Chain A
């Protein structure tokens, strides 16, 4: 199976999963209330995040054929994403300013004059399209990393908090060891050791970020372990596994959601720094910004590349940060009481 088919499949799974979660949330009125509260407090942020998610999905659905590939023979055999089909992929030869008719340095006429909203990059690629495509990479970084980090944190944190004693000692030792190493250095070391790919970057980010949530999960589990309903369940003959799965885990879910949203922006920002160090993920905004370091020093400066990536990154982070606040307020019983 080819990668674009896998990608389509993942989109399908995500859509089904999303629908399932939506149904589950709407039936469960604690969650429903939270969603409503978030929507009421920050409709803008929710909408912006939705737009990013939509872009990411559009860029993940691809199929072959039905496009004019010009001189590019290989492209006829490659899948083109829905996003690329929608926004076209008009190629130029090199830099051109936003909406320009001529090349930026060479002043030769463009093939598609006036059609590049954010201009073109060094190889003549459309920056607007690249900016839109960055959404997928950012969500991939945030999503994939959380997908690795959060289960990892739960896997270690819950038993440590629930069973205590030796297990707790071991987990706590692992956590303090990992937490003692500077995040960036650990990230770099892992990527240098494991090679360079999106998965490795996400894995490295996950390894460096799970500890924080693990600590929270452990503490919360310790608290939940002493809750009366856990005692009651024990008297009701529930096994340890049942108690963890039925009584502990669901009561950690709000923390999972809060952590997910709060972690997200940090992950995307870290990737930008990694990109500067040469270990970024292909097609990310971080990479575009890192590239722009040289472009800005050109004279006259090429600013639209960093501008596009900056706006894309900034918009997502701003929305996610606001959303994070709202989600925390809606779900965290502590802040809920105060507000």
Chain B
């Protein structure tokens, strides 16, 4: 491992995100003036400790993927703080950013588009090593590629093949191998298994937990699939319309969800319809536009327990014992009251 000065101080989390906002401008008029914003991510706080798995859960379109990409600055966020290994990634100039985010890598959702179809597996995996100067020469890097492939339970001689010759699961393993090639401490897994068959999902998840054990990796697990979360994550953040509405340890969350939205989510699994596996929640109405989020509580338009207050006042994250929730109901300490 390189990067000595950027080592996390003891007790300090590996990744600390505060108030992350990513807005996309809406342009209109003759001169394309910005008339508004799509608030894809609107004030998200996440903390990930070394070696820990944190899940970021939400319906599609809630901004979780944008949040994942924004904190690595693949998309430029509007404001916020992303402390990673003691440095604020958002304040770094481009050159330093490159080195700073080496130890934070990402595994992508779509196994089709995450690997360059024109490159051999060897070159895909070795790219990071080449540019960061890991390994002395080409031969050594090739050797490491072989190791990595075996590590993700592929064969070393697969390295001379092209991506299209592999199945989805295999490709995802290649993606993981690539991420591992630069010796990261944090992996952002962006829906890393959602596109795979259930059986293969399990295999990949097993592999991930194995890797975590061996390499002391931290995972930020972005998904819409709560069943996966239960299996892997230690802590869970639930997102709705660009905001975190509830955060708790996995165990507590599944046992006693605080936010009506979370409750709705949990009631939806397991689903029978294989196409609707995951979070297709039986709430009334459509998801509001994040360009024009509802006033007051963002969930009030669909909340089964909506109160007058919710329409006017915006709830803050309320600290409960070791967990948080963005709901006035939690404020009153009357969790679970209205479930029946």
Contacts and interface: CB of A to CB of B under 8 A. Distances in A.
Which of A232, A246, A247, A253 gathers the greatest number of chain B CB atoms within 10 Å? A232
A29 B162 CA distance: 9
Contact of B114 (A29, A228, A236, A238): A228
B106 A30 contact: no
B101 to A, nearest CB: 6
B113 A228 contact: yes
A231 B69 contact: yes
B108 A228 contact: yes
B162 A229 contact: no
A30 B117 contact: yes
A227 B98 CA distance: 19
Interface in B102-117: 102, 104-106, 108-110, 113-117
Interface of A: 29-30, 227-229, 231-239, 242, 246-247, 250-251, 253
Contacts of B33: none
Nearest to A233: B127
B118 A250 contact: yes
B127 A236 contact: yes
B200 interface: no
Interface in B178-198: 178-179, 181-182
Contacts of B115: 229
A237 B119 contact: no
Contacts of A238: 127, 131
A235 B131 CA distance: 10
Interface string B62-85: 000000010010100000000000
A228 B110 contact: yes
B98 A237 contact: yes
Contacts of A253: 118
B164 interface: yes
B109 A228 contact: yes
10 contacts: A29-B162, A232-B114, A233-B116, A234-B74, A235-B74, A236-B127, A237-B98, A237-B128, A237-B182, A251-B117
A284 to B, nearest CB: 37
A29 B163 CA distance: 11
A246 B130 CA distance: 13
Contacts of B98: 237
Highest count of chain B CB atoms <10 Å: which of A228, A231, A246: A228
B84 to A, nearest CB: 13
Contact of B106 (A227, A231, A239, A247): A231
Given A232-B114, A232-B179, A239-B131, 9 more contacts: A227-B114, A228-B113, A229-B124, A235-B74, A235-B101, A235-B128, A236-B181, A237-B132, A238-B131
A232 B175 contact: yes
Contacts of A234: 74
B131 A229 contact: no
A236 B180 CA distance: 10
B106 A236 contact: no
Contacts of A242: 131
Contact of A235 (B72, B162, B164): B72
Contacts of A229: 113-116, 124
A235 B110 contact: no
B284 to A, nearest CB: 34
Contacts of B69: 231
B159 to A, nearest CB: 15
Contact of A231 (B102, B104, B108): B108
Nearest to B181: A236
B182 A236 contact: yes
A247 B132 contact: no
A232 B178 contact: yes
B132 A251 contact: no
Contacts of B118: 30, 250-251, 253
A30 B109 contact: no
A242 to B, nearest CB: 7
Contacts of B175: 232
B127 A235 contact: no
A333 to B, nearest CB: 9
Interface-central residue, B105, B109, B118, by most chain A CB under 10 Å: B118
Nearest to A33: B164
Nearest to A333: B117
A69 B148 CA distance: 71
Contact of A232 (B106, B132, B162): B106
Given A235-B72, A235-B106, A236-B178, A30 B164 contact: yes
Interface string B13-46: 0000000000000000000000000000000000
A238 B109 CA distance: 21
Nearest to B164: A30
B74 A231 contact: yes
A108 B64 CA distance: 90
B174 to A, nearest CB: 11
A231 B106 CA distance: 9
B131 A236 contact: yes
